[in-house]
Structure 1
Amino acid sequence: MTKQAVRLTRISFIAAPVLLVVYGSIRLLVEGSKEPGAAWITGHLAFLSGVLLFGVVCDGLRRAAAAEAGPVRRRVVNVAWPVAWAGVAAATAQAAIDIYAGIRADDKAEMSEIFARVQDVPGVMPVVYTVVPVFLYIGVIALLAALKGPRAVPSLVAFVLGTVAIAANLDFLPLGGLLYLLAFAPLRHRVGA
């Protein structure tokens, strides 16, 4: 792994959750963030950037866990990593659709029509919205579970709590992002070690 790749991965362990906090905060606190316009687009660009950096985090977790793992854990890592990346791809598609709708629509009703047209395409709902995005969280949980060391369990617990908070209510996105930051920040130095 090059020095630049290590640096990007370590930064991603901080930036991915921070961008989720930014997106959640815009969604929660900025007027107009739930209709087409600058706030919607800004929030979703933060979300898209965060999701892409979660992919980099998954790569870092895979490397760290594989370096420490015996044969059984290595198999878990080898399954968890593509599962997580499937979730990254689905969430990326979702963010891109949201940004497109926010740019194209003149009002909330038109944005709803765009979403309805996209979601009516067979397979889009499970692949982009309801099933496959969950793979990101499942994959990251498995990758964290494959880690060894004193920070492994607290990081896993923080990530699971963040995921539960977000699943309970999207208004908890900032809290979930902060919990993800608690999970990932102490692990960033294990990348490239």
Structure 2
Amino acid sequence: MRIRPAYLAAPALALVYGVLRVVDGFDGVRGPGPAWTLGHLAFMGALVLFIAVFRDMWGMLGRGRVATVTLVVGLAGIAFTFVQFAIDIVVGFMAADHEAMGPLFDQVQAVPGVSLLVYEAGPILFYVAQLALVIHLAVQRQVRLWVPVLVLLQVLLPFASLDLIPVGSLLAMVAFLPLATREDKRPEVSLAHA
């Protein structure tokens, strides 16, 4: 058995982001500050790890057309979400306080296409692809049905409240545990024949 740490590290970093987001909002105001910056950096790290996770799932699915389209959609979603979080960090550094962040975000989102691609539709691609990949794995019976159910809950919880991101991240860790610890079914290559 080979451990694939990205499957657990990605939701763990998302959990760090979610917890720091809640901590940052205790006073009713989010950002700027250390919790804002560290939380966003943690989620950016999670996104980088999700590239490896998506690529691994794509390989498990046999790299067919549907899996490849889903991978490309997911990578686009990761890229848009990464840009969003990078913008958030830059705005956090530029703003003296929370009130000063609003006009800076308005300037960024006034650029044609940014609001739609970076803040609205783009990031949804990341979550849709994540769910589609695990559903595809369940259809192929490579994971049990509860895996996509937990991933669906993880995807939907932030729509109810962004303060539920830590709960969703824990669900993702549980969902991805079988993928992180699965047996590698590829045949062993003998050194004598290599």
Work out whether the TM-score is over 0.5: yes
Distance 1:191 1:41, change over 3 A: farther
Pick from 20, 28, 32: which aligns with 2:14? Answer: 20
Specify the code of the residue in structure 1 equivalent to 2:83. Answer: A
* 2:181 maps to 1:185: no
Question: 1:20-79 CA distances to partner (integer Å, 9 max, x unpaired)?
Answer: 111111111245671211111011111111111112211111111227xxxxxx322121
What does residue range 91-130 of structure 1 map to in structure 2 within 5 Å? 91-130=81-120
**TM-aligned CA deviation for residue 150 of structure 1:** 6.0
Once residues 92 and 183 of structure 2 are traced to their aligned partners in structure 1, the CA distance between those partners, rounded to angstroms, is 37
Equivalent residue runs for 1:146-165 within 5 Å: 146-147=136-137, 148-149=140-141, 151-165=143-157
The 1:190–1:131 alpha-carbon spacing in structure 2 relative to 1, beyond 3 Å, is same
- TM normalised by structure 2 equals 0.86
Partner of 1:175: 167
When residues 192 and 86 of structure 1 are mapped into structure 2, their CA distance, relative to the original with a 3 A threshold, is farther
3-state SS of paired residue (1:132) = helix
Q: CA-to-partner distance for each residue in 1:112-166, whole Å, 9 max, x for gaps?
A: 1111110010100111010011001111111112213363321111100111111
Percent identity reads 36
Deviation at 1:190, TM superposition (A): 4.1
Q: Which has the higher helix share?
A: 1
CA distance in structure 2 between the aligned counterparts of 1:191 and 1:44, rounded to whole angstroms: 33
Unaligned runs of 5+ in 1: 1-5, 68-73
Partner SS for 2:35: helix
Distance 2:67 2:145 in 1: 16
- Unaligned stretches of 5+ residues in structure 2: 186-194
Aligned residue pairs, count: 180
Pick the structure with greater CA Rg.
2
**TM-score of the aligned structures, taking structure 1 as reference length:** 0.86
Distance 1:16 1:167 in 2: 20
